[in-house]
Amino acid sequence: MHSDILIIGGGIVGSAIAYHLARGGRSGDIIVVEPDPTYALAATPRGNGGIRQLFSLPENIAMAQYGLSFFRRFETDMAVDGDPAPIGFRRQGYLFISDRGGERQMENNFRLQAANGVGADCLDRDALQARFPSLRTDDVALAVHSPDDAWIDPYAALQGFRRKARSLGVRYLTDAVVDWRGDGHLARRAILASGATVDADIHVLAAGAWSADIGAMIGLALPVEPMARETHFFRPAAKIEKLPFIKTESHLAFRPEGGGFAGGLPDWSVSAGWNFDASPDGFEKIVWPAVAHRVPALETLKLERTWVGHYARNTLDLSAIVGAWTGGFENVFMAVGFSGHGIMHAPAAGRALAELILDGGFQTLDLSRFGWSRVPEARPYRERSIV
Ligand SMILES: Cc1cc2nc3c(=O)[nH]c(=O)nc-3n(C[C@H](O)[C@H](O)[C@H](O)COP(=O)(O)OP(=O)(O)OC[C@H]3O[C@@H](n4cnc5c(N)ncnc54)[C@H](O)[C@@H]3O)c2cc1C
């Protein structure tokens, strides 16, 4: 079959691209190839859904700001035939805590964030204690609280994008790309597991942590690898004040979820690769002590569930690669390597890539510095906030 645009991967990034391409009615036919409409193994439903402006790179801040305003209106903007698309948008803020000597960097980031329109507060120990009395603060040098930040239900957002894109004419094929071919300067054809083929004028790779394997089929060598991350849902015994999404320099990350909390403490020493098995005692030995250290009232809690998802980690610099495959097949575009930020950055990446494809250049958000060329040139554009 033939399509004007082929998108490989229909997670939140691929679906946000499909939606932004289709919404202006200028894109022609769009096919999204996605093997699993339940998204059982995809990163999106396994992510925490946090949207925060607390980055050090202006692009990452701007993309999060676009994501915040987009997701705030999502329920009504993504309605189909009057049926709304609720995503549980919750503006409950983010709190970054410096507890491992990085306070100067956090303060510099704070200044840059303020200059980029982020309404955050830089808090010393006393101010932090006064604002969130349940926190232990004696080992905290500094904290930054961004009250406008939020979180959403990422699975609902993915399904909302998908449903809206389909209502605009995008076709989702339940199939997998098993080979990808091109010649001369152009990618030509994707071969699917079913035996079907899709020829397209424009090819877009957005397959999350699977992207490197698929890119390799046409010689696109991406520095993107799957990194397993455990998340735990636990309920406190005691009542605790309303907390924001907390992230510390010592890698603890958790946020309120229903009547409890969801989060974890990633082990950065674990080697890359697929692994969906949760460690039998990781929560008890590592996460719980860290959580109880930061919030002593969580000394008593009940662990209810643990699950594993995979970051698509960009090993060059932990930020997304968005743009054209410059120097390769000239009709191949990519939005890959989002590491831990792909939910909040999906709307901006979708819009930017749609502009690049349809208008020939970025119009609203200039993501040139996130382009492919930094990979062959080994020129990292490094994020300096807590990742
Ligand atoms: C524990 C954890 C917490 C996170 N927390 C946050 C957070 O708070 N905020 C945030 O913004 N981000 C967060 N993230 C990151 C976020 O989940 C990802 O960056 C985002 O979901 C990536 O979306 P995606 O569409 O690129 O990938 P995915 O959702 O993984 O989608 C990729 C799709 O490609 C498909 N695919 C695979 N093989 C093929 C093939 N051969 N052909 C066609 N399609 C294929 C897959 O089926 C899949 O559906 C978190 C991630 C994890 C693991």
CA nearest ligand 1 atom 52, residue = 47
Nearest atom in ligand 1 to the alpha carbon of residue 309 is: 53
Distance 124 CA to ligand 1 centre (A): 36
List the residue whose alpha carbon is closest to atom 22 of ligand 1: 342
User: Does ligand 1 come within 6 angstroms of the Cβ of 341?
Assistant: yes
384 pLDDT band, cuts 50/70/90, is very high
Burial class (CB in 10 A: 0-12, 13-18, 19+), 40: exposed
Helix (H, G, I), strand (E, B) or coil at 313: strand
Ligand 1 touching residue 344 (CB < 6 A): yes
Q: Which atom of ligand 1 is nearest to the CA of 343?
A: 11
Distance 266 CA to ligand 1 centre (A): 17
**Ligand 1 within 6 A of 47 CB?**
yes
Residue range 2-79+153-223+316-374 forms a domain whose CATH class is: alpha beta
pLDDT in tens, 251-281: 999 999 999 999 999 888 889 999 999 998 9
As a whole number of angstroms, the distance between CA 384 and CA 373 comes to 21
Q: In a mutational test of the pocket of ligand 1, which residue from 34, 36, 39, 336 has the highest number of ligand atoms less than 8 Å from its CB?
A: 34
Ligand 1 proximity of 9 Cβ (cutoff 6 Å): yes
Say whether pLDDT at 387 is over 80.
no
What lies within 8 Å, CB to CB, of 377 at 6+ separation is: none
Sign of CA dihedral 201, 339, 59, 76: positive
| Residue 11 Cα to ligand 1 middle (Å) | 6
Distance 158 CA to ligand 1 centre (A): 10
Q: What are the respective helix, strand and coil percentages of the chain, to the nearest 5?
A: 30, 30, 40
Compute CA distances 1 → 30, 35, 105, 191, 282, whole Å: 12, 17, 52, 10, 48
Q: Tell me if residue 48 falls in helix, strand or coil.
A: coil
Q: Is the whole model's pTM more than 0.75, yes or no?
A: yes
Domain boundaries, the chain: 2-79+153-223+316-374, 94-150+227-308
**CATH architecture entry for 94-150+227-308:** 2-Layer Sandwich (3.30)
| Nearest atom within ligand 1 for CA of residue 206 | 26
pLDDT-above-70 percentage for the chain: 100
Q: How far apart are the first and last CA of the chain?
A: 41
What's the mean per-residue pLDDT of the chain? 97
Q: Distance (Å, rounded) from C-alpha 267 to C-alpha 280?
A: 14
**Residues 180-234 pLDDT 10s:** 999 999 999 999 999 999 999 999 999 999 999 999 999 999 999 999 999 999 9
Ligand 1 contact via 49 beta carbon (within 6 Å): yes
Q: Hey, how many other C-beta atoms are within 10 angstroms of the C-beta on 335?
A: 30
Ligand 1 pocket: which of 48, 197, 198 to mutate (most atoms within 8 A of CB):
48
Phi-psi label, residue 93: left if phi above 0, alpha if psi -120 to 50, beta otherwise: left
Q: Atom 20 of ligand 1 has which residue's CA nearest to it?
A: 342
Indicate if ligand 1 lies below 6 Å from the C-beta of 102: no
Token duo for residue 168: 């605009």
The pLDDT score that the predictor gives to residue 79 is 98
Q: What are the tokens at 231?
A: 């998340």
Same fold, 2-79+153-223+316-374 and 94-150+227-308: no
Q: Which atom of ligand 1 is nearest to the CA of 178?
A: 41
Q: Which residues contact 134 (CB under 8 A, 6 or more apart)?
A: 240, 241, 243, 295, 296, 297
Quick: pLDDT tens for 5-53: 999 999 999 999 999 999 999 999 999 999 999 999 999 999 999 999 9
Q: How far apart are CA 9 and CA 38, in angstroms?
A: 13
In the sheet with 301-314, reading across from the earlier edge strand, the strands are 121-123, 142-146, 94-98, 245-248, 253-257, 260-264, 224-236, 301-314
Q: CB-based contacts of 335: which residues, under 8 Å, 6+ apart?
A: 13, 14, 17, 204, 205, 206, 320, 321, 322, 349, 350, 353
Determine whether the shortest distance from the Cβ of 254 to ligand 1 is under 6 A: no
Average pLDDT over residues 101-117: 97
Residue range 243-252: mean pLDDT, rounded: 97
SS3 assignment, position 289: helix
